[in-house]
C-alpha cells in the first residue's frame, strides 16, 4: 500500500478579521474538491490541523466539523489536531499513516487558522498559548505591568532561539536576512501569499529591530488562511 498527495488548494492568506477559521477552511475544501474532481461521497475521513483560532473566534472542540458545513461531506470521521505550528503537519502525518495502514483510501487534510485581530493584545494572548502558560506566566505579568506586549514574546522565545543559533553556528545577520529574501521570492510566485513584493538583503537589515537579532522583515506576520490536501491510496478510484 502506498500513499500519495494527489491534489492541493488554498485560500488567500492575509488579514480577515471578519472571517472565522471554519469559513476559511470551507473555502479551501471546496477549492480542493473542484481541483481534484472529488465528490463528497468519495471522502473517507477528514484530518484537520488548527491552533490559535479557538482563542480568536471562539470555535473550540469541533473546528473541523464546523469547517465542513456546506461542503456536502457528512458522516465521516473528523480528527482535529492541535499541535502549535505543527498542527497541519501532524494531521498530514497521521493521514498518511492511516492510508498506509489500509484504514482509509481517501482523506482530506485541512490546515486552517487565524491569528490576526484588530486588537494586538488578542493576537498575542492567543500566540502565548503556544508556550507553557504556567511556566511562562511571568510574561503575562510583564504585559500587565507595561500595558503592552512590545517584544516580550519575541525577546524571550524566538529571538532567544536565534541568538543561540548565531552563537553556536557563527551565522551573521546577513545569513538571517538571506532566509527572508528567499522566502519572499517564493511568496512572489504564489498568488495566495500575504506579501508578494520582492525584498533585498539591505531592506531586511534596515527594517526596525524587533528583538536582537531579529528585524521586522525577518519575522512572520499575523495572518489568516487555510490550505487543503488530498491524500489517497493506490487503490483509490
pLDDT, one tens digit per residue, over 59-71 is: 999 999 999 999 9
Q: All 3 cell numbers of residue 32?
A: 480542493
pLDDT of residue 236 exceeding 90, the answer is: no
Query: Are 224 and 22 a contacting pair, CB within 8 Å?
Result: no
Strands 3-10 and 45-49: unpaired
Q: Name the maximum alpha-carbon separation found in the chain.
A: 60
Query: Are 87 and 80 a contacting pair, CB within 8 Å?
Result: no
Query: Are 180 and 200 a contacting pair, CB within 8 Å?
Result: no
Q: All 3 cell numbers of residue 203?
A: 531592506
3-state secondary structure of 132: coil
pLDDT of residue 113 exceeding 90, the answer is: yes
pLDDT confidence of residue 151: 66
Per-residue pLDDT, averaged over 71-91, amounts to 97
Q: Where are the alpha helices (DSSP H) in the chain?
A: 21-36, 53-57, 63-68, 87-100, 120-128, 137-146, 152-156, 158-169, 173-188, 201-206
Element (H, E) at 120: helix 120-128
Q: How confident is the model at residue 150 (pLDDT cuts 50, 70, 90)?
A: low
Amino acid at each position: 500500500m502506498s500513499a500519495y498527495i494527489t491534489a492541493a488548494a488554498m485560500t488567500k492568506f492575509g488579514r480577515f478579521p471578519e472571517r472565522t477559521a471554519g469559513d476559511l477552511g470551507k473555502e479551501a475544501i471546496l477549492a480542493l474538491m473542484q481541483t481534484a474532481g472529488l465528490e463528497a461521497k468519495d471522502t473517507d475521513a477528514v484530518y484537520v490541523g488548527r491552533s490559535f483560532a479557538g482563542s480568536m473566534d471562539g470555535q473550540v472542540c469541533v473546528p473541523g466539523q464546523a469547517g465542513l458545513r456546506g461542503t456536502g461531506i457528512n458522516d465521516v470521521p473528523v480528527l482535529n489536531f492541535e499541535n502549535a505550528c505543527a498542527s497541519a503537519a501532524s494531521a498530514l502525518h497521521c493521514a498518511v499513516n492511516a492510508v498506509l495502514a489500509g484504514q482509509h483510501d481517501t482523506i482530506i487534510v485541512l490546515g486552517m487558522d487565524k491569528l490576526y485581530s484588530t486588537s494586538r493584545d488578542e493576537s498575542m494572548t492567543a500566540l502565548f498559548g503556544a508556550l507553557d502558560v504556567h511556566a511562562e506566566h511571568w510574561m503575562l505579568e510583564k504585559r500587565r505591568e507595561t500595558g503592552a506586549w512590545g517584544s516580550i514574546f519575541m525577546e524571550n522565545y524566538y529571538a532567544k532561539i536565534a541568538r543561540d543559533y548565531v552563537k553556536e553556528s557563527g551565522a551573521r545577520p546577513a545569513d538571517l536576512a538571506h532566509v527572508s529574501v528567499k522566502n519572499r521570492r517564493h511568496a512572489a510566485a504564489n498568488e495566495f501569499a500575504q506579501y508578494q513584493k520582492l525584498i533585498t538583503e539591505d531592506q531586511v537589515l534596515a527594517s526596525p529591530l524587533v528583538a536582537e537579532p531579529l528585524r521586522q522583515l525577518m519575522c512572520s506576520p499575523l495572518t489568516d488562511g487555510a490550505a487543503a490536501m488530498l491524500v489517497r491510496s493506490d487503490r483509490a478510484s
